[in-house]
């Protein structure tokens, strides 16, 4: 269709005139001018989408605005125009024809292309620049700054030699998914916003102190050092009340890493690195999940990184050794079993388990080590049997990290049967703290092992919150009582002894064997005998022994 040239020229002139007097991106005069042109060109809708980078465009990660709408747009017939800004941002215009109208003529398409250019250069450019700044530096959900702004702002403080006044904090709202489930995601976002605003109210300078959102329930904050104590207290737990529509109160807590920034700090990236490292350590702490970054922490993190990097090669080179700690029958003090414990021999040094086990548990590498230990135990038992030695049952620890592995039982059985080890010589120890994983998984592995004649033991019994449920619902063969019950409780001297007595009695009545670990003194031995517990493990009898020394203990059985 032909466009009325006179009316079109008048509309364009009016649009240009109004743009010269632009009073803001929502200027009603400009909107009226766009509507005149849109009517002449039979445009039903003009959408504009903003992208930060071409990669964002490729992934469809943009922010869309509707600049104009009049009538029913035909979503299959549109003019697509892509414009680039100097800062790398991209703008895509999608101009739709009215449904039912004849196709645009070449003349109309040409004029629509010119309109898109004009929108970009004038009104569109103003909108794009404002939106680009918002997308670059703000979090859209909470209307606070984001990590990009934080790094730019921190670099500015560094350049002005003012960074030494500040502390940075990386924090995560703990178990916030539970709050979302409790009150709904929309209300959860409202609670998060209230929490952030209350935190910001602790600041005294809203221009220099701020909370920035990294994503999800993760944040980074920067504030004057004198506010550190109040910020820490707030993050330890703050009650938030909302109407949902009934009044609901929730306690919001956070795990946090802090960094008292020194004057010598030379980049925002180092600030982010330091608080991130502190947070990554803090998040695995249960009671006080708050850590300040210092050189001691840096060294700790260096050791963690070293373990993670060395582990694959160390496993391949079989640097991990099996040490056997004997289990003793207190009636005759004879060896009746052993627990397989891991030691790492690296570069001529024996590394204790406390240095590497917690690290491997963090990234689930512990699963590979558990299978390695089981295989080496089975290999040793097979060689002892072939040599005609008397063999005792050996217990092997299994980390909670295995739960979720659908093939766990198959994996365990394949290792044991690979060496043709009679199942009666293997016992699998599962820590009592596995109550935070799927009880269904735990139940399946315990029943599955017992169906194949492999005993199971619940380790560290009595240290968790669901001990009684574990022994009531699962058919354990052995309850391994934590050594803490042998210690004197200063506040209640008899409490541990009473609990120990009843745990032993309960186990016996349920047909479950009980053994106490950490037996170190003759007084401990006497206490166990008085309570009819005759299985013990600890330094009073033997420390964990290397294979060749443990074989001497086995030889004594035959003697």
CA distance 448 to 399: 17
Asked whether the beta carbons of 475 and 446 are under 8 A apart, the reply is yes
- Helix H or strand E segment including 376: helix 366-386
Structure confidence by residue, pLDDT tens digits, 250-295: 888 999 999 999 999 989 999 999 999 899 888 877 778 999 998 8
Computed over its alpha carbons, how large is the radius of gyration of the chain? 34
* Mean per-residue pLDDT over the chain, rounded: 86
Residue 477: inside a domain, yes or no?
yes
Per-residue pLDDT, averaged over 188-208, amounts to: 88
Q: Do 378 and 444 fall into the same domain?
A: yes
Q: What is the pLDDT of residue 492?
A: 47
Asked whether the beta carbons of 244 and 195 are under 8 A apart, the reply is no
Residue 421, domain CATH: 3.20.20.450
Q: Do 415 and 367 fall into the same domain?
A: yes
Give the predicted TM-score (pTM) of the model.
Answer: 0.61
Structure confidence by residue, pLDDT tens digits, 382-404: 999 999 999 999 999 998 888 87
Which position has the higher pLDDT, 345 or 11? Answer: 345
Structure confidence by residue, pLDDT tens digits, 470-491: 778 888 999 998 888 887 644 5
Q: Do 17 and 155 fall into the same domain?
A: no
C-alpha 128 chain-centroid distance: 36
Which position has the higher pLDDT, 433 or 426? Answer: 426
Q: At what angle do helices 295-316 and 268-282 cross, to 10 degrees?
A: 70
Domain assignment of residue 232, given as a range: 144-293
Q: Do 313 and 264 fall into the same domain?
A: no
Report the range of poorest mean pLDDT among 47-61, 133-147, 185-199: 133-147
CA distance 48 to 130: 13
Is residue 322 scored above 50 in pLDDT? Answer: yes
Q: Do 529 and 416 fall into the same domain?
A: yes
Q: How confident is the model at residue 55 (pLDDT cuts 50, 70, 90)?
A: confident
Is residue 22 scored above 80 in pLDDT? Answer: no
Number of domains in the chain: 3
CA distances from 522 to 54, 244, 332, 533 (A): 73, 61, 15, 14
Q: Do 205 and 246 fall into the same domain?
A: yes
Q: Do 418 and 434 fall into the same domain?
A: yes
Cβ contacts of 62 within 8 Å, gap of 6 or more: 49, 50, 51, 56, 92
Residue 175, domain CATH: 3.30.70.270
CA distance 551 to 559: 13
Q: Do 431 and 459 fall into the same domain?
A: yes
Asked whether the beta carbons of 42 and 95 are under 8 A apart, the reply is no
CA distances from 16 to 30, 69, 84, 95, 354 (A): 9, 20, 22, 20, 73
- Helix H or strand E segment including 81: strand 73-84
Choose one of 243, 273, 293: the last residue of a domain.
Answer: 293
Q: What is the pLDDT of residue 493?
A: 55
Which position has the higher pLDDT, 57 or 543? Answer: 543
Residue 299: inside a domain, yes or no?
no
Q: Do 332 and 457 fall into the same domain?
A: yes
Residue 229: inside a domain, yes or no?
yes
Residue 400: inside a domain, yes or no?
yes
Torsion of CA 353, 354, 358, 359, to 10 degrees: -80
Residue 529: inside a domain, yes or no?
yes
Residue 31: inside a domain, yes or no?
yes
Q: Do 480 and 461 fall into the same domain?
A: yes
Is residue 428 scored above 80 in pLDDT? Answer: yes
């Amino acid at each position: 269709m032909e466009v009325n040239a006179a009316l079109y020229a008048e509309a364009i002139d009016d649009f240009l005139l109004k743009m010269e007097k632009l009073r803001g991106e929502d200027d009603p005069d400009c909107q009226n001018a766009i509507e005149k042109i849109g009517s002449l060109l039979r445009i039903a809708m003009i959408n504009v989408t903003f992208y930060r980078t071409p990669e964002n465009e490729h992934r469809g990660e943009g922010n869309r605005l509707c600049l104009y709408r009049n009538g029913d747009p035909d979503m299959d017939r549109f003019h697509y125009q892509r414009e680039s800004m100097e800062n790398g941002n991209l703008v895509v215009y999608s101009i739709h024809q009215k449904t039912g109208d004849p196709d645009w003529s070449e003349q109309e398409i040409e004029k629509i292309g010119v309109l898109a250019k004009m929108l970009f250069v004038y009104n569109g450019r103003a909108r794009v620049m404002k939106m680009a700044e918002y997308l670059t530096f703000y979090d859209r959900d909470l209307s606070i700054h984001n990590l990009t702004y934080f790094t730019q702002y921190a670099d500015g403080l560094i350049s002005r030699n003012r960074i030494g006044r500040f502390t940075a904090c990386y924090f995560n709202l703990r178990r916030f998914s539970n709050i979302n489930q409790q009150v709904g995601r929309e209300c959860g976002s409202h609670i998060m916003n209230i929490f952030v605003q209350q935190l910001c109210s602790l600041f005294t300078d809203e221009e220099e102190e701020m909370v920035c959102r990294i994503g999800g329930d993760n944040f980074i904050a920067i504030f004057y050092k004198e506010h550190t104590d109040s910020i820490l207290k707030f993050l330890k737990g703050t009650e938030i009340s909302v109407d949902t529509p009934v009044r609901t109160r929730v306690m919001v807590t956070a795990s946090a890493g802090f960094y008292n920034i020194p004057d010598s700090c030379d980049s925002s990236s180092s600030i982010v690195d330091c608080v991130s490292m502190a947070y990554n350590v803090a998040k695995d702490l249960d009671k006080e999940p708050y850590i300040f970054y210092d050189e001691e922490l840096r060294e700790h993190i260096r050791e963690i990184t070293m373990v993670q990097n060395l582990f694959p090669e160390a496993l391949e080179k079989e640097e991990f050794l099996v040490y056997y700690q004997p289990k003793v029958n207190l009636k005759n003090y004879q060896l009746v079993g052993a627990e397989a414990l891991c030691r790492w021999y690296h570069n001529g040094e024996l590394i204790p388990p406390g240095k590497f086990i917690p690290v491997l548990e963090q990234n689930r590498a512990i699963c590979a080590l558990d299978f390695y230990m089981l295989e080496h135990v089975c290999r040793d038992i097979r060689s002892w049997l072939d040599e005609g030695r008397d063999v005792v049952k050996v217990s092997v620890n299994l980390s909670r990290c295995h739960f979720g592995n659908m093939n766990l039982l198959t994996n365990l059985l394949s290792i044991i049967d690979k060496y043709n080890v009679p199942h009666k010589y293997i016992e699998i120890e599962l820590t009592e703290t596995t109550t935070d994983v799927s009880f269904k998984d735990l139940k399946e592995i315990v029943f599955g092992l017992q169906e194949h004649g492999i005993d199971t033991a619940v380790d560290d019994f009595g240290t968790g919150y669901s001990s009684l449920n574990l022994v009531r619902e699962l058919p354990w063969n052995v309850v391994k009582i934590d050594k803490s019950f042998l210690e004197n409780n200063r506040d209640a001297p008899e409490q541990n002894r009473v609990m120990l007595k009843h745990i032993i009695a309960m186990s016996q009545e349920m047909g479950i064997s009980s053994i106490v670990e950490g037996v170190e003194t003759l007084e401990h031995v006497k206490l166990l005998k008085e309570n009819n517990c005759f299985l013990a493990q600890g330094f009073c009898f033997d420390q964990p022994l290397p294979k060749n020394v443990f074989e001497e203990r086995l030889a004594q059985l035959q003697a």
